[in-house]
């Protein structure tokens, strides 16, 4: 019999009933160190007092009014994002996949209104992830995601990750946009080199197409800058944001320049819940915490500490791990054994990591984890590696 919850997920046998900072408490009382943060969502850990206050204060005032009216919390968050980024304007969604939908619509509408309606194609990259809507799976294009769901939304081309020569050759008069994650998340923590992102920006300018960045996973302080593209010193035309921006409350956004957004006039797009007072009140509190030089400096300092310790872990367990990669607190351990075995061994040792593509385990901890928690993380990851190594010994 089919379970009452549609069985589309492979779930671990864990149910958490409480979260405190970097810790998750299982129904049986065990305390897990959370290095997954709900897949980079709980950017400030669990039950952060400032976020709880923002949410409950707003809950006592008003939850929902609809976008038929002005929403002061939405305007406040948009103002903050515009002030902090390249963007002139923001549309709020409830998720990353909805941000992808609008990014695609916005790029196509831009060229339509410019009198170049043939520029509908979007070039994306293998190994990317942009959500599970029809546009999202078409944008990612992987066999695993699209198989059986045809007809797939047309107008997407896929190139090998970071292949600049292929990109230069692929852009033609039908290309409206280039879409990529500055650090691929689901694909296995694969950053693009700063020089390559600069080159892609230059190519888009030269050939006349929009640059759309998906910072749903790598944005909101995750890499040690508010947004990952800042490391390369470039700006996109359109950017997708979600995950960390709500700190655990469902919230997403599309940020854009005035020019790129010029086709999106009244009536061209909408959302019932997008930009609701609850989400935006929390989003403002998240921005207030994360977007300070001191906080981002802390992310970089902790990232350096964690990375150095992980290099030691890999060196000590060459039979389990191949390498550390990533940027800031978006780190991946490429495994030599099946990554699912390492994640499961982590559960045995009360530490949570997240599997990713390319046989990687992802470490996406709360950005405010403490130095003691970093030390504890290593103790537990070390124990997990020993659990895996012991199993290898048994079967050898
Ligand atoms: C998670 C993710 C999405 C999809 O976000 P949802 O909120 O799950 O719809 C899109 N792009 C990237 C890079 C992501 O990591």
Q: For the chain of 396 residues, list the mean pLDDT of each consecutive stretch of 10.
A: 96 97 98 98 98 98 98 98 98 98 98 98 98 97 95 98 97 98 98 98 98 98 98 98 98 98 98 98 98 98 98 98 98 98 98 98 98 98 97 82
- Residue 161 burial (10 A CB sphere; 0-12, 13-18, 19+): middle
Provide the CATH number for the domain around residue 241: 3.40.640.10
- Cα–Cα distance for residue pair 279/168, rounded to 1 Å: 40
125 lies in which domain range? 49-290
272 is in an annotated binding site: yes
265 is in an annotated binding site: no
In the prediction, which pLDDT does 135 show?
A: 97
Same domain, 104 and 226: yes
In the prediction, which pLDDT does 298 show?
A: 98
In the prediction, which pLDDT does 395 show?
A: 77
Closest Cα to atom 10 of ligand 1: 130
Query: Which ligand 1 atom minimizes the distance to the CA of 252?
Result: 7
Is ligand 1 within 6 A of the CB of residue 242? yes
Query: Of 290, 311, 345, which marks where a domain is finished?
Result: 290
In the prediction, which pLDDT does 185 show?
A: 98
Q: Is 380 contained in some domain?
A: no
In the prediction, which pLDDT does 393 show?
A: 86
In the prediction, which pLDDT does 158 show?
A: 98
Same domain, 20 and 59: no
214 is in an annotated binding site: yes
Structurally, how many domains does the chain consist of? 2
Contacts of 309 by beta carbon, 8 Å cutoff, 6+ apart: 374, 375, 377, 378
Q: Map tokens 């942009």 to a residue.
A: 130
Closest Cα to atom 5 of ligand 1: 96
């Amino acid at each position: 019999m089919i379970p009452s919850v549609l069985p589309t997920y492979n779930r671990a046998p864990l149910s958490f009933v409480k979260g405190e900072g970097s810790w998750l408490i299982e129904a049986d009382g065990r305390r897990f160190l959370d290095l997954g943060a709900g897949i980079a969502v709980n950017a400030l850990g669990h039950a952060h007092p400032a976020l709880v206050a923002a949410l409950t204060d707003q809950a006592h005032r008003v939850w929902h009014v609809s976008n038929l009216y002005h929403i002061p919390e939405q305007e406040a968050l948009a103002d903050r994002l515009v002030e902090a980024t390249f963007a002139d304007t923001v549309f709020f969604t409830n998720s990353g996949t909805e941000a992808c939908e609008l990014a695609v619509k916005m790029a196509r509408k831009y060229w339509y209104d410019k009198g170049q309606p043939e520029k509908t194609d979007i070039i994306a990259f293998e190994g990317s992830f942009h959500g599970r809507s029809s546009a999202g799976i078409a944008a990612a294009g992987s066999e695993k995601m699209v198989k059986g769901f045809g007809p797939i939304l047309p107008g997407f081309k896929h190139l090998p990750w970071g292949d600049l020569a292929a990109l230069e050759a692929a852009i033609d008069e039908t290309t409206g946009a280039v879409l990529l994650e500055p650090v691929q998340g689901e694909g296995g923590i694969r950053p693009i080199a700063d020089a390559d992102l600069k080159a892609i920006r230059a190519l888009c300018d030269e050939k006349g197409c929009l640059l759309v960045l998906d910072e749903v996973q790598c944005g909101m302080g995750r890499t040690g800058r508010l947004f990952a593209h800042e490391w390369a010193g470039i700006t996109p035309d359109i950017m997708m944001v979600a995950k960390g921006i709500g700190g655990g409350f469902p919230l997403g956004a599309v940020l854009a320049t005035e020019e790129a957004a010029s086709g999106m006039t009244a009536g061209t797009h909408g959302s019932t819940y997008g930009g609701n007072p609850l989400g935006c009140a929390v989003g403002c509190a998240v921005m207030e915490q994360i977007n300070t030089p001191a906080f981002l400096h802390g992310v970089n300092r902790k990232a350096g500490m964690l990375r150095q310790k992980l290099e030691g872990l890999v060196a000590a367990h060459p039979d389990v791990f191949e390498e550390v990669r990533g940027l800031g607190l978006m780190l991946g351990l490429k495994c030599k054994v099946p990554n699912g075995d390492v994640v499961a061994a982590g559960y045995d040792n009360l530490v949570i990591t997240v599997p990713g593509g390319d046989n990687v385990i992802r470490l996406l901890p709360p950005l405010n984890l403490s130095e003691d928690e970093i030390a504890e993380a290593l103790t537990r990851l070390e124990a997990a590696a020993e659990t895996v190594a012991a199993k290898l010994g048994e079967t050898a």
